[in-house]
Chain A
């Protein structure tokens, strides 16, 4: 009766799907499997932490405007925070990728976790690239001059104009962070929902297989 009507509602479907796949206990656990005991597991959270510093320093830079950091010493410091946190972001992300590859972390129906992670990597490179273009210094001039040839060669330059500062800055501070943010969020939620992948050969005994 009323139960029948509730089941058809989109909101109810979404709520029940969410509660089934990602209850709050999975989102904010206080235990983890005993096999999660290696320093390699720190590089995912390291990447996210670096991203946090990138966003925080980036927010200050965007508030103060595109040229601020050239003539303000505080601005230069904030720009330096943004620069070095990007370095750590990529260092940690790549080491995280190496780890996840050698752990075959896509096992146990975790293909989408791998896909979203790799997309976040590729997307981060694109986002960083737009950042390099908007430094309003010699490096930006050169990078835009060179990169235009790559994008023009496959027709992308007809819409994505690296020498258009106005377009690049909006892509860097609005459009791309939203896309990367969503992909990263899905990636992290998938890890929470599916749990950390068990070791390779963890179930050999149950399956009666020798390694």
Chain B
């Protein structure tokens, strides 16, 4: 059993907008995906700028 097993098995909390509703957990998952996509695009990537020319 997880350390926060009891907390995780309580009823989920939902956010409602009209006919749309989503659990906080699912919302966090989707927002995280958008965030990591955005970060992956803008964060500088390390690496040697001077590469080798292929023969």
Contacting residues, chain A, for B29 (C-beta < 8 A): 87, 91
Q: Is the CB of A99 within 8 A of B33?
A: no
Asked whether any CB of chain A lies closer than 8 Å to the CB of B45, the reply is yes
B1 near A42 (CB under 8 angstroms)? no
Interface residues on A, range: 10 to 19
Q: Are A40 and B33 in contact (CB under 8 A)?
A: no
A42 in contact with B51 given A73-B1, A91-B29 (CB within 8 Å): no
C-alpha spacing A139/B32, complex, angstroms: 25
- Contact in complex: B33, A39 (CB < 8 Å): no
Q: Which residue of A lies closest to B51 (CB)?
A: A34
The interface residues of chain A lying within 8 Å CB-to-CB of B51 are: 34
- Decide: A38 and B40 in contact? CB cutoff 8 A: yes
Is the Cβ of A80 less than 8 Å from the Cβ of B2? yes
How many contacts A-B (CB < 8 Å)? 34
Interface residues on B, range: 10 to 19
**B22 on the A face (CB < 8 A):** no
In angstroms, Cα B54 to Cα A91, docked, is 35
B2 engages A40 (CB within 8 Å): no
Given A37-B47, A91-B32, A94-B33, verify A76-B1 contact (CB < 8 Å): yes
Q: Which residues of B contact A42 (CB under 8 A)?
A: 40
Contact yes or no, A95 B40, CB < 8 A: yes
Measured CB to CB, the residues of B under 8 A from A are: 1-2, 29, 32-33, 36-37, 39-41, 43, 45, 47, 51-52, 54
Interface residues of A (CB under 8 A from B): 31, 34, 37-40, 42-43, 73, 76, 80, 87, 91, 94-95, 98-99
